[in-house]
Structure 1
Amino acid sequence: MDVDAFMDSFRPYLEANRRTTNTVFQVSLNPSPEDRLTDGQFRDIAQEYMERMGYGNQPYIVFKHKDISREHLHIVSLRVDEQGRKINDSHEYDQSMSVLRELERKYDLHPSVKGHELTDREGLQKVNYSEGNVKQLISSVVRSCLRNYNCSSYGEFRTLLERFNVSAEECTGTVDGRNYAGIVYGTLTDDGYGIGTPFKSSRIGRDVGYKALQKYYERSKSELKLDGALNRLRQSVRNAMSPHNTRDEFRQLLKADGIDTIFRINPVGRIYGVTFIDHEAGIVANGSVLGKEFSANVFNELYPAPKNDKQVPEQHTAP
Structure 2
Amino acid sequence: MIARILYRKNVQGVLNYVLDKPHASVLGMCNIPKQILQYPKLLKQHFHFLGSRHESNKRFVHITLNLPHGEFLDDSKFFKLAEIYMQEMGYGEQPFVIVRHDDTKHEHVHIVSTRVKESGKLVDNSHDFSRNLAVQKYLEQMFGITPSPESKCSQNLPVIRVPKERSLPDDSLGVRFYMQDILNTLCQQYKPRSFKELKHLIQAYHLALSITQNKSGRVGVSYGIEKVLGYKSRFIQGYKVHPNLSGPKMERLFQKNARSKLLPTHRQRLKKQLDTVFKLFKSIDLKELETILMEFQKLDTSLEFNKMGQPKSFTIYDKSGYIFNPSEIDGQLWSRIRSFSSNSNSVLEVNGSQFQLELIKCVEEVLLNRHARMHTGFVVSEFIARQTFSAIQNDFWEHPKFALLSKYCPKEGLDLHKQLNDQYAGIQNKLVQKHHKRETQLLESKSRLISKVIEQCVFGLNLTTDTRGELFQSLGLAYENGSVRYLDSSVHSLSLDMGNFNTRPNEMKFPSAFIREHEKVLRLLVGANPKSESLYARSYFLPMFFKQLYSQMAKEDRKTFETYSLHAYWKTIERMNQSFEKSPKDYVHLLNHQGFHVSEIDGDMYLHAIYGETDATIPLDQKTKAYLNSLPDKNIVFKNQHTHITLLKHSGRDSFDHLWTAYLIQNEYYKKAAYLIVFKGIRPNLAPEIMEFHMQKGLKKVILEVAQNQNNYKNRKLILASAYTIDSLLGSQKGRNELEFNPFKDELTDYSKFNKQGL
Q: TM-score, normalised by structure 1?
A: 0.49
Question: Which structure has the highest strand share of the two?
Answer: 1
Structure number with greater CO (CA < 8 Å, separation at least 6) is 1
Question: Which structure has the highest helix share of the two?
Answer: 2
Mark the structure with the bigger radius of gyration.
Answer: 2
Q: TM-score, normalised by structure 2?
A: 0.23
